[in-house]
Amino acid sequence: MEIKIIKLNGSDFLELSIDDSQRQWTRVFLVTASARTLLGADIYSIIRAKLKAALQPLNAADFAGQIDKIPVVNILNLSENHYSLYLGKDTDGLSVLYFSNSEGVLTNSLVLDINILEKELNC
């Protein structure tokens, strides 16, 4: 088992627990100051590719709807616990990552530091 950390900002991060098999099935945890939450799982290369794609400018044609009156794009749907991750830009131009559970209930949101995320993903 291999553990990788992807920092999202100065304090919050995704913890990726990667299976040693060739398929590299990966469980994804959101770790904040107050909690460690299992979001779900997918193949490591898919998770990484979708997070990298989320760093590209948002395209209005790809908007999946709105959260807190902010247009968002869906960036990742995970198996097992079935969390979905959405990305939007707030009115100040800050990138906000939203987490919704299998019932579609918003469970968390946090402001991303794009510079940190780009370094973490070696963009």
DSSP 21-84: STT-EEEEEEE-SS-EEEEEEEEHHHHHHHHHHTTSPP-GGG--EEETTEEEEEEEE-BTT--E
- Tens digits of per-residue pLDDT, 3-50? 999 999 999 999 999 998 878 999 999 999 999 999 999 999 999 999
- Tens digits of per-residue pLDDT, 43-83? 999 999 999 988 888 888 889 999 989 999 999 999 999 99
pLDDT confidence of residue 15: 97
- pTM to 2 decimal places: 0.90
pLDDT confidence of residue 123: 59
